[in-house]
Amino acid sequence: MSALPPGSTIGILGGGQLGRMLSLAAARLGLKCHVYSDVPGGAADVAAASTVAPYENTNAVRAFAGSVDVVTYEFENVPLAAAAAAGEAAPIRPGPKALAVAQDRLKEKSFVSALGIPVAPFAAVDDDASRDAALLAIGESGILKTRRFGYDGKGQVRIRNAAELAPAFETLRRAPSVLEGLVPFAYEVSVLVVRSLAGEIRTYDIPLNTHKDGILDTSTVPSPLPPAHAARASDIAGAIATALDYVGVLGVEMFYLPDAPEPLVVNEIAPRVHNSGHWTMDACLTSQFENHIRAVAGWPLGPTGRHSDVTMTNLIGHDVDHWQALAAEPDSALHLYGKPDARPGRKMGHINRLKPRT
C-alpha cells in the first residue's frame, strides 16, 4: 500500500486525450508517464516515454509494464489479454475486474443490478430465439446495443416497434447484444467517484449532461438534482466502486426520474476518467485526472470540492476551427487535444465556462 515516490513512472494504456490529460496531471506531481498506444497520439507529446504497438502484442505490453511502476488505462476496451500481460509485470489499477465488467454491457448491467442498484430493463440478444424473447420481456420500444465496443452512440440502434428489432440485429451484424427498455428520464447526470488504494472514497459534485448526436455536448455543475438525490447518486457510485475493489476515477452515468420510486437508474459505468468530469480541471483544486493519478500511485486523494460553477462544452469536429474566438472568451478555459484532423464526431477539445459559485 506504499505510495510511489515522485520520480516514479505511471504506465498508461491508450494515447488519446484522456491519456494526455492524465500525463499532464502526473507531471504536476513530479511523476513520469510512459504511454502505450496502438496508434501515435497526442499523449506521447507530453509523456517521458512512449511505445506504439498493437495491444495484441503481449510481449510488447509486458516489456512496457516491466519498465513502469504501475499501469493504468484511459479506455475500457483494453483487451483483457493485454491487461493480464501488463499485470504480470506491474500492478494494474483499476484492476482487471473493472475492465471485464465494463467491457460487456450484459455483465455490467447484471453486476450493477446484483448490487440492488436500478438499471434500465435489459435482455440479452444473441440469436433469433433470444431476440424474440427479449421483445417479450422488454416491450416493443427500446435500444438494441452491442455488448462490446460501443461508445458515443456507436453500436446501437433505436427500436420503435417490434418489426424494427430483427433488421436492427442485422445492422449490428448479429453481434451479441442487449435490448434495453427506454427509461423516461428527465435528464442525465453522472457521478465522478475516486477511490484510493486504501479504499477511501471521494466524489465530485454531480454534473447535468446533455448530448448531441449521441455524443456528450455539455456537463454543468451544479445540476438541479435535489440534495437528497445527489447524495443517493454518490452513494450508488461509491457502492459500485467498492464492489469492484476499484482504484482510480470511475464515471457512473445515471438517468434521473424525479417522480419514480427509484429516481436514479444507472445507465453505464466507465472504468476511467470521464468526459463529463473535464470541468474539474478548472473548477476544482484537484482535477479528476490528478485524483486518478493520485489513486493509482497510492497517494492520498486530493480535495474534490468546487470553487466555481461551470459548464463544460465539448468541441466536436469543426467546432475547434473557432479556437481564436474561444480563446478570447472571458472567464473561460480552453483545452485543445493536439489532434491534427477535425473529423466530424471527433473530440478535438473542450471549453470550461466558469461563473462564481452560487
Residues of this chain, 260-299, that bind its own copies according to CB under 8 A: 282, 285-286, 294, 299
In angstroms, give the least distance from the CB of 4 to its own copies: 11
Under a CB-based contact definition with an 8 Å cutoff, are residues 44 and 35 in contact?
Answer: yes
- 70 contacts its own copies (rule: CB under 8 A): no
Q: Tell me which DSSP letter residue 163 carries.
A: G
How many C-alpha atoms does 88 have within 13 Å on its Cβ side?
12
Tell me whether residue 127 or residue 331 sits nearer to its own copies (CB atom): 331
In angstroms, give the least distance from the CB of 339 to its own copies: 8
Residues of this chain, 7-26, that bind its own copies according to CB under 8 A: 7, 20, 23-24
Measured N-to-C along each axis, helices 288-296 and 17-28 cross at an angle, to the nearest 10 degrees, of: 70
Strand-pairing partners, residue 265, are: 255
Total length of the chain: 358
In angstroms, give the least distance from the CB of 358 to its own copies: 14
In angstroms, give the least distance from the CB of 200 to its own copies: 11
- 199 contacts its own copies (rule: CB under 8 A): no
Q: Is 160 exposed, middle or buried (0-12, 13-18, 19+ CB in 10 A)?
A: exposed
Closest CA to 8 of 296, 303, 301, 285: 296
**With CB under 8 A as the contact rule, which of the stretches 128-136, 216-224, 266-274, 330-338 interacts with its own copies?**
330-338
Strand-pairing partners, residue 352, are: 312, 333
In angstroms, give the least distance from the CB of 298 to its own copies: 10
Tell me whether residue 267 or residue 280 sits nearer to its own copies (CB atom): 280
Under a CB-based contact definition with an 8 Å cutoff, are residues 337 and 42 in contact?
Answer: yes
Closest CA to 106 of 168, 134, 148, 136: 148
| Residue from 300, 318, 343, 345 in contact with its own copies (CB under 8 A) | 300
Tell me whether residue 146 or residue 280 sits nearer to its own copies (CB atom): 280
Alpha helices in 208-347 (DSSP H): 227-243, 280-283, 288-296, 323-327
| Residue from 40, 45, 54, 66 in contact with its own copies (CB under 8 A) | 45
Site residues (CB under 8 A) for its own copies? 3, 5-7, 20, 23-24, 27-32, 44-48, 282, 285-286, 294, 299-300, 302-303, 305, 307-308, 320, 323-324, 327-328, 330-340, 349, 354, 356
